[in-house]
A and B are shown apart, each in its own frame.
Chain A
Amino acid sequence: MTQTPTSTIDGQTTQALQATLGAEHAALWCYSLAVAFLVEPQQSQARRDADVHRELRGRIEQTLTQLGQRPVSAQPAYATPQPVTDPASAARLAVVAETDCQTSWRALLEQTSDRGLREAGLKALTDATGRGARWRAVVGATPVVPVFPGKP
């Protein structure tokens, strides 16, 4: 996504990119909390998933910087929908994090017609759906694969 031509990226798109960056910041924070409560093999899975979010975050920040925008910073902490106290609630938080990322990536797709961003957004939405499905299986959510991932 760092090679996209700037000519087709407008303010609406950069706003959506900032929102996506915010969701990736939040996901990283969620995984850092979840890892403390998860047990193996989910703990290792959470670390791998966090690595992917870290990579995505870096790429969005790089893209925004190239567009002359200052990337939004992470919040010091985030409110979790439910208290995280054990492996089950930690896995549920991972589901929330991935669901939020799916929503923001789909929203980004709706805010840009830039082909590079569309390609990147489609991959990110699909990857987040796959990670989310793994966590949904852990917590017993059905269907494991959402019918319309990222639909608000």
Chain B
Amino acid sequence: MAAQVGPRLTRRALLAVVLLGPPLAACAPAGPTQAQAPDPLIALADAARADATLAAAVIAATPDLAVRVAPLRDARTEHAAALDAEVARQARRSTPPAPPRAATGAATLDALRRSVAAAGESARQAALDSDARRVGLVASVAACCTTYAAQLG
């Protein structure tokens, strides 16, 4: 491939490459290597916690929404626990779970819908590459989140 790409590099492009300096990996301090990349389920667990926090804030702001939103808050709390347990099983997490973030922005039903829709898509993407042992859990989280997003739409 390099032979095909090489001749296409213009002088300007080569200069740009030179200006960028050596590849980042060569000068970066000993950071996580590919083998120690963070477990992708950590981000999914953190998103579940954030959704549970946001759902609770929505209920606090608009108690009339409790009937619709409380099941979602509970589901996302369970998702976080199950994802944490799976991360712990693989023992690739070096830091304890992030404390729940305070909800940023308005605690509205629309914000919650967008957040849970994004979480569903993240889980769907993660499920494509998950190993056999965890794909079921991640796929269930994706299906649950996407269905809630549709219901709140």
Contact = CB atoms under 8 A, between A and B. Distances in A.
B135 interface: yes
B107 interface: no
B147 A109 contact: no
Contact of B143 (A142, A143, A149): A149
B151 A109 contact: no
A121 interface: yes
Contacts of B146: 126, 129-130
A152 to B, nearest CB: 9
A1 to B, nearest CB: 14
Interface string B74-87: 11001100100000
A126 B147 contact: yes
A86 interface: no
A122 B124 contact: yes
A121 B137 CA distance: 13
Interface residues of B, number: 28
A102 B71 CA distance: 20
B144 A145 contact: yes
A71 interface: no
A115 interface: yes
Given A129-B143, A142-B71, A150 B136 contact: yes
A121 B139 contact: yes
Contacts, number: 85
B128 A148 contact: no
A136 B147 CA distance: 13
Interface in B59-76: 71-72, 74-75
Contacts of A121: 139
Given A106-B139, A110-B136, A145-B75, A122 B144 contact: no
B18 interface: no
Contacts of A151: 136-137, 140
Task: Choose among A107, A122, A130 the residue with the greatest number of B CB atoms under 10 Å from its CB.
Answer: A122
B75 A150 contact: no
B148 A145 contact: yes
Interface string B113-153: 00000001000100110011101110111111011101100
Given A111-B132, A126-B142, 16 more contacts: A102-B143, A109-B136, A109-B139, A110-B133, A113-B132, A118-B127, A118-B128, A122-B127, A122-B143, A125-B142, A126-B147, A129-B143, A130-B146, A143-B71, A147-B140, A149-B140
- Top 10 nearest A-B pairs (CB, nearest first) are A148-B140, A143-B71, A129-B143, A126-B143, A149-B143, A147-B75, A129-B147, A125-B143, A145-B147, A126-B146
Interface of A: 102, 106-107, 109-111, 113, 115, 118-119, 121-122, 125-126, 128-130, 133, 142-151
Interface of B: 71-72, 74-75, 78-79, 82, 120, 124, 127-128, 131-133, 135-137, 139-144, 146-148, 150-151
